Amino acid sequence: MLIINIGEKMKTRQFTLVELMIVISIIALLLFLNPSDWNVSNNDSRIKQCAMEMEGVLMGMKMFYLSNGYYPGNQGMAKDIDGLVEVAGDFIPEGFDMTEATPVGGRWKFHTVADKAGYLQIFGPDMSDDDMKKLDAIIDDGDPNSGQFQMKGANYDFIIFDKD
């Protein structure tokens, strides 16, 4: 048997002052934490991922050279990304897809110069020049105008091999 007392007012629970203060404090803390700091952290991880991928390709090309006695750009082979993947795909790190965008934006390209030099290029990165200098500092000398990683116009070349 169910007995309902219609005369009694239904009690409603209200937030206490302490609960409201806690919620306001949490919101203020989240607003105080600058979301741009999160973006910097994201950029740093993208830069580090790109450096790891580039170093992996460099090591793969060195392994290719040790196995075959020449780099994949020599002897008229592997003039572009598709050619590089076809010729040296077994030496490119697993999971590294050269047809996808780079971690720093733009596209991967591979080219050779008169079969004497081979470059892995980041074509059209969307990172700032300062971020690209950070990438250069990880894999090279920190100066995009010299060393193994060089700025060429709006692109960046990572020298895989250079016979000069």
pLDDT band of 4, cuts 50, 70, 90: low
CA distance 152 to 121: 9
Percent share of the chain, pLDDT over 70 = 80
- CA-based max dimension of the chain: 98
62, pLDDT greater than 90: no
Question: Looking at per-residue confidence, does 150 or 84 come out higher?
Answer: 150
How high does pLDDT run on average in the chain? 82
